Amino acid sequence: MQENKKPLLLITNDDGYQAKGLKCLIEVVKHYGNVVVVAPEIGRSGMAHAITMKKPLTYTLLEESPDYKLYSCSGTPADCVKVARFQILKQEPDFIFSGINHGSNSSINVVYSGTMGAALEGAIAGIPSVGFSLLSHNPDADFSEAQIFIAQIIEKVLQFGLTPKTCLNVNFPKVSEIAYKGIKICHQTKGFWRENYLETSDPWDNKSYWLTGSYTNQEPENAETDEWALANNYVSIVPVHVDLTHYESINQLKKQGYEA
């Protein structure tokens, strides 16, 4: 990035270009550089790192003004990042910001999150990226306090960058009468979803199934986790990377004779 040149900031989300959370993120990010938004044309929650391969993608320029452009894209959040980088933009973005998601992406939710799928797509490309989420599914949720902390986090990322091939997973507690206590750097909580499918049927007795379930926190007392931080009204930040190798198992598998 050249000195005295405004950084190019790419924004996306998984709730769609009309989501309030995206608009609130744009309000913050626009103060820090030239902004290009490429967001799904409809909600794409739970898409994780999915990409579109069996049908063509489309994108549409919806708004344009000095230092700002907004596009909708027919694909997933990860598609939005790819289309922005390889089709829309004339240069690589300096930073990528995804969100603000309506709903939690803490703990194991990071695996399923389209918001974080976009941030991880940026990390793979070596672009400092951050995903932001608020623990409220309300379409008209109050993002005002989160915006204050987002500005602080963005300023740090712009100043120091991030470790190569990593991104940040930032979650905000639901706004309450008690203000956020601050920011806490955490690790991902060990937990899982116990899924259940609700069976329904149409007038012709064709069966269909709605995914439901409940979350189990396997370490509720661990104050180093993102779930603990959020439960205690802290903003949680978890650094995330894409290398899924379990290094401790490599020597064990070698000793067990897996290698020919």
Please write the tens of the pLDDT for every residue from 59-96.
999 999 999 999 999 999 999 999 999 999 999 999 99
187 confidence band (pLDDT: 50, 70, 90) = very high
20 confidence band (pLDDT: 50, 70, 90) = very high
Is 229 within 8 Å of 236 (Cβ atoms)? Answer: yes
Mean pLDDT of 11-19: 97
Is 101 within 8 Å of 165 (Cβ atoms)? Answer: no
pLDDT at 1 over 70: no
Give me the residues paired with residue 9 across strands.
35, 95
Tens digit of each residue's pLDDT (9 = 90 or more) over 158-186:
999 999 999 999 999 987 667 899 999 99
Mean pLDDT of 232-258: 95
State the chain's mean pLDDT as an integer: 95
Mean pLDDT of 122-130: 97
Neighbour-count burial of 68, counting CB atoms closer than 10 A to its CB (0-12 exposed, 13-18 middle, 19+ buried): middle
**pTM, to two decimals:** 0.94
4 confidence band (pLDDT: 50, 70, 90) = low
User: Which of the listed CATH numbers 3.30.479.10, 3.40.50.10490, 3.40.1210.10, 3.90.1580.10 matches domain 8-189+220-255?
Assistant: 3.40.1210.10
Q: Rounded to whole angstroms, how far apart are CA atoms 48 and 50?
A: 6
